[in-house]
Amino acid sequence: MRLPDFGAKVMGLAADALFPRLCPGCGNRCDRPGRYLCWSCFSGIELFTDSLCDCCGRLATGEVGHRFVCSACRHIKPSFDRARSAGHFTGLLQHLLHQFKYSSALWLRNDLTDLLEGCLRAHFDAEQIDAVLPVPLHRLRKRQRTYNQSDLLSAELAKRLNRRNDLRSLSRTRTTGTQTRLNAIQRRENMKGAFKVTDPPMVAGRTLLLVDDVMTTGATLDACATALKKAGAARVWCITVARGI
């Protein structure tokens, strides 16, 4: 063991003894190095497995033994090429994402990125990705909230993939308000033209991975993908930590 590694390990053990990392799921000491969720709670998160729409990742009702595209995607094809989410937006995962987004629980970044990375490796060819982009917040909203949770996730994921984390090429042109009471069609209308590409040469001809915390109808990701495709992006893939239906 090299001395700096040894030093870092000793420091890590000392920090753990002084400030034990307690699992936000069960309250026990965390047994995963450098993380907060314990193995038991982490493996208890309900993940999406199979029978998903090939395009948007929506769960099929009933057993599907072949590749399929859901009726929503057949009706209006999204601008993104594929979207996938790691887990269901319920229970512990919903609680963690809420803490991460609204209560500055930024220490959850690695745990949440573990879920993103697992999902990415299961559904996409990471080698083909040229850049990782977060879904941007409007600058006024970002000033209010002080940080964008998607920036933090995309930065961590890009670092693990050894890819460029592109915070500049895509921007939000207006605030869009809360969408919780809108249905899928209203959300699509609400998001229309809400994003623009500020630096087209950085996206043209590239395979891009868009990152967000939660996907619901996919209207936000679709509006981002529309702007990116218009600027010449070759492929837009989307990944979120959770999906709520």
Residue of the chain from 21, 36, 41, 149 that contacts Zn ion (CB under 5 A): 41
Instruction: Pick out residues in 67-126 that bind Zn ion (CB under 5 A).
Output: 70, 73
Sheet holding 235-243, edge to edge: 82-88, 235-243, 207-215, 131-134, 164-165
User: DSSP characters for 226-237?
Assistant: HHHHHTT-SEEE
Residue of the chain from 36, 48, 52, 56 that contacts Zn ion (CB under 5 A): 56
* 39-45: long-range pairs with CB below 8 Å, 24+: 41/92, 42/111, 42/114, 44/92, 45/86, 45/87, 45/91, 45/92, 45/93, 45/115
Q: How far apart, in whole angstroms, are the C-alpha atoms of residue 5 and residue 198?
A: 42
Measured from the CB atom, the residue of 57 and 136 that comes closer to Zn ion is 57
Q: Stretches 26-34, 139-147, 165-173, 207-215: which one binds Zn ion (CB under 5 A)?
A: 26-34
Measured from the CB atom, the residue of 55 and 208 that comes closer to Zn ion is 55
What is the size of the binding site for Zn ion (CB under 5 A)? 11
Question: Is 25 among the residues that bind Zn ion (CB under 5 A)?
Answer: yes
Sign of the dihedral defined by the CA atoms of residues 152, 153, 159, 163, in that order = negative
Question: Is 59 among the residues that bind Zn ion (CB under 5 A)?
Answer: no
Q: How far apart, in whole angstroms, are the C-alpha atoms of residue 244 and residue 232?
A: 30
Question: Is 243 among the residues that bind Zn ion (CB under 5 A)?
Answer: no
Residue of the chain from 16, 26, 59, 234 that contacts Zn ion (CB under 5 A): 26
Question: Is 218 among the residues that bind Zn ion (CB under 5 A)?
Answer: no
Residue of the chain from 36, 45, 48, 53 that contacts Zn ion (CB under 5 A): 53
Q: Stretches 16-24, 122-130, 174-182, 206-214: which one binds Zn ion (CB under 5 A)?
A: 16-24
Q: How far apart, in whole angstroms, are the C-alpha atoms of residue 130 and residue 203?
A: 9
Smallest gap, in angstroms, from Cβ of residue 183 to Zn ion? Answer: 16
Q: ∠ at Cα 123 (118, 125), nearest 5°?
A: 95
Measured from the CB atom, the residue of 163 and 237 that comes closer to Zn ion is 237
Measured from the CB atom, the residue of 23 and 158 that comes closer to Zn ion is 23
**Strand partners for 243:** 88, 215
Tell me which residue has tokens 């070759």.
234
Measured from the CB atom, the residue of 31 and 189 that comes closer to Zn ion is 31
Binding site for Zn ion (CB under 5 A): 23, 25-26, 38, 41, 53, 55-56, 58, 70, 73
